[in-house]
Amino acid sequence: MTETKVTAQTIRAMKVRGEKIAALTAYDFPMARLLDEAGIPLILVGDSLGMVVLGYPDTTQVTLAEMEHHVRAAARAKPRALLVADLPYRSYESVESAVANARRLAAAGAEAVKAEGGRAISGQVRAIVESGIPFMGHLGMLPQHVLEEGGYRVKGKNHPEQEALLADAEALAAAGAFALVLELVTPPVARELTQRISIPTIGIGAGPDCDGQILVTPDLLGMLPWYSLKHVKPKLNAAEQMRAVVKDWKKGVESQKPLKG
């Protein structure tokens, strides 16, 4: 990667060149800056912030105002990386709302937006792209639909689901999406999708054959010890290290002798 600004076209061209895409999430200035300094080409201000920052039980409670707040914070890092933001739950139910809310996130500093769904939102995708805002898709397990589906589960295990995923992916590519997140999709289906469509696939729990991989950064760093995810093996035990540092500092404070009067 060069030091030039990463754009949606840059990400799309990485597939053509056979370069793997490493993407991570950031919700504030310091994390966005650290990830950018580490050379991550795509940073997502994901609505996962609802759970990992705001303490919500799922992403469905995240508001557009909260997304704008965190996008502004991450954008202040002025990353070389492409900064993508999630359109939150029910913020893109119509073409008009999708474009208006994508513009709000762009005004906050997002350089592209992401939304969940395939053929059902192809009109919204096309309108967002035509308005000048790059769009990234999201198929497979859709966190914003977790309440409707009764939990998180792997997609693509049966033939109807496989056909639906392929049709949705092709629809998103035709509507102008520059890339596509595949979450908890069976590896064989993720591989077929990756080979069939012209835009990059970025997997999370979808096997090794996608064009790239994305993770929620606190999961990667081991900052959320209260949760265990099958598709993530933390590379750091940050939570335990943070506890140890805080306890050591606290012990030092408590051991200081008071000033004598």
Catalytic residues: 183
- CA–CA distance, 108 with 220 (Å, rounded to integer): 27
Outline where 76-158 has alpha helix (H).
95-108, 122-130, 146-149
- How far is C-alpha 11 from the chain's CA centre? 14
Q: Kind and range of the H or E element at 16?
A: helix 8-17
Q: Kind and range of the H or E element at 181?
A: strand 179-183
Outline where the chain has alpha helix (H).
8-17, 29-37, 49-52, 64-75, 95-108, 122-130, 146-149, 159-175, 187-196, 217-220, 238-255
- How far is C-alpha 97 from the chain's CA centre? 21
SS3 state at 83: strand
